[in-house]
A and B are shown apart, each in its own frame.
Chain A
Amino acid sequence: EADIYQTPRYLVIGTGKKITLECSQTMGHDKMYWYQQDPGMELHLIHYSYGVNSTEKGDLSSESTVSRIRTEHFPLTLESARPSHTSQYLCASSVTSGGGADTQYFGPGTRLTVL
Chain B
Amino acid sequence: AQSVTQPDIHITVSEGASLELRCNYSYGATPYLFWYVQSPGQGLQLLLKYFSGDTLVQGIKGFEAEFKRSQSSFNLRKPSVHWSDAAEYFCAVADTGRRALTFGSGTRLQVQP
Contact = CB atoms under 8 A, between A and B. Distances in A.
A45 B100 contact: yes
A40 B105 CA distance: 8
A58 B103 contact: no
Nearest to A98: B51
A109 B43 contact: yes
Contacts of B46: 1, 103-105
Given A42-B90, A48-B100, A100 B44 contact: no
Interface in A77-114: 90, 92, 94, 96, 99-109, 111
Interface residues of A, number: 31
A102 B99 contact: yes
B101 A45 contact: yes
Given A99-B52, A100-B30, A102-B94, A43 B103 contact: yes
B71 interface: no
A33 interface: yes
Interface string A54-95: 001011000000000000000000000000000000101010
Nearest to B29: A100
A101 B41 contact: no
A56 B108 CA distance: 31
A104 B32 CA distance: 12
Interface string B87-106: 00010001010111101111
Interface in B14-53: 30, 32, 34, 36, 41-46, 49, 51-52
Contact of A106 (B36, B94, B104): B36
A106 B44 CA distance: 6
30 contacts: A4-B43, A40-B106, A42-B103, A42-B105, A43-B90, A43-B101, A43-B103, A44-B103, A48-B100, A56-B98, A58-B100, A90-B43, A90-B44, A92-B44, A94-B99, A99-B51, A100-B32, A100-B51, A100-B52, A100-B96, A101-B99, A102-B99, A103-B46, A103-B49, A104-B34, A106-B36, A106-B43, A108-B42, A109-B41, A109-B43
In the A-B complex, the 6 residue pairs with the closest CB atoms: A101-B32, A101-B94, A106-B43, A106-B44, A42-B103, A108-B43
